[in-house]
């Protein structure tokens, strides 16, 4: 357990990307509290989260430094991870030893949410648009959204998956930055493992076509097999199961 006496609170939203922060807190052996929020009937975050941060999104982390009462509120996954590594990681856990791989971690903290996740979100939104089209407009909406996906989002996503598979091929240890787990693997776990390789059926729906992910992206597949067996990842999942 870390020696810090700061109070750390993770605001975790059901079916969100916040699980990665819980996993990170476990890896860093930090004391923390977790507050769980459930989505409403429209799959939106509850208004209570806006009391923590004006945008009302998750993950959110509140840190109340020892001796103060005013919380530091952290939003955005990549920023939260970097902040926790900078302030609560004196032993250098989850940070590679080589300068090159340390820079890689910083890159992936920005790339994952800025590039990769935006493609997945766009495809998800387009999928919802197809299913929620007004009566009589379903065919037109399918043609419109399908054309946009085929022209841009799907080729871009496949290009990014190929890029990541090639990046892993360069790493002899099977992780994204060096030969052991780093913050890069934690942030990439949501889009790559949970949203894709752990759920082939959903991946096929997202991609709009049947693709053998194991054959097409073998290095990501091997990495995914490592991720699902990581003790910290497993523990985070069990903690959330007990909260829901």
Of the two residues 143 and 78, the one the predictor is more confident about is 78
- For residue 105, what are the contacts with CB-CB under 8 A and spacing of at least 6? 95, 96, 177, 182, 183, 184
How far is Cα 57 from Cα 77, in angstroms, rounded to an integer? 11
Alpha helices in the chain (DSSP H): 19-27, 77-87, 99-111, 117-131, 138-148, 154-169, 183-188, 200-207, 213-216, 218-228, 231-243
- Token pair 């800025």 is found at 114
Residue 4 has pLDDT above 90, yes or no: no
pLDDT for 101 equals 96
- Asked if 105 and 84 touch (Cβ cutoff 8 Å), the reply is no
Supply the pLDDT for residue 150. Answer: 74
- pLDDT (tens digit per residue) in 65-119: 999 989 999 999 999 999 999 999 988 889 999 999 999 999 999 999 999 999 9
Higher pLDDT, 139 or 228: 228
Secondary structure of residue 12 in the 3-state scheme: strand
Of the candidates 78, 74, 164, 152, the one whose C-alpha atom is nearest the C-alpha of residue 113 is 78
Which domains does the chain show, CATH number per domain? 7-93 (3.40.30.10), 99-234 (1.20.1050.10)
Give the confidence band of 122 by pLDDT, cuts at 50, 70, 90: confident
Share of the chain above pLDDT 90, in %: 66
Percentage, residues of the chain above pLDDT 70: 90
Condensed to tens digits (0 to 9), the pLDDT of residues 32-55 reads: 999 999 998 888 899 999 999 999
- Give the per-residue pLDDT at 139: 59
Q: Answer whether 188's CB lies under 8 Å from 181's CB.
A: no
């Amino acid at each position: 357990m870390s020696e810090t006496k700061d109070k750390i609170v993770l605001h975790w939203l059901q079916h969100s990307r916040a699980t990665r922060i819980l996993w990170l807190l476990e890896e860093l052996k930090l004391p923390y509290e977790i507050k769980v929020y459930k989505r409403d009937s429209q799959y939106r975050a509850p208004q209570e989260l806006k009391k923590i941060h004006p945008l009302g999104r998750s993950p959110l982390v509140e840190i109340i430094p020892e001796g103060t009462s005013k919380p530091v509120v952290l939003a955005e996954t990549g920023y939260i991870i970097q902040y926790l590594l900078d302030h609560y990681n004196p032993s250098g856990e989850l940070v590679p030893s080589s300068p090159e791989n340390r820079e890689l971690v910083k890159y992936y903290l920005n790339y994952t949410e800025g590039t990769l996740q935006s493609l997945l979100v766009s495809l998800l939104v387009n999928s919802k648009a197809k299913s929620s089209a007004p009566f009589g407009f379903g065919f037109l909406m399918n043609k419109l959204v399908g054309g946009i996906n085929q022209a841009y989002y799907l080729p871009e996503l496949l290009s990014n998956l190929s890029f990541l598979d090639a990046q892993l091929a360069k790493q002899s240890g099977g992780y994204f930055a060096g030969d052991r787990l780093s913050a890069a693997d934690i942030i990439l776990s949501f889009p790559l493992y949970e949203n894709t390789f752990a759920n082939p059926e959903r991946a096929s729906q997202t991609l709009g076509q049947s693709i053998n992910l194991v054959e097409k992206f073998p290095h990501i597949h091997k990495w995914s097999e490592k991720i699902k067996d990581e003790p910290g990842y497993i523990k985070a999942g069990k903690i959330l199961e007990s909260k829901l």
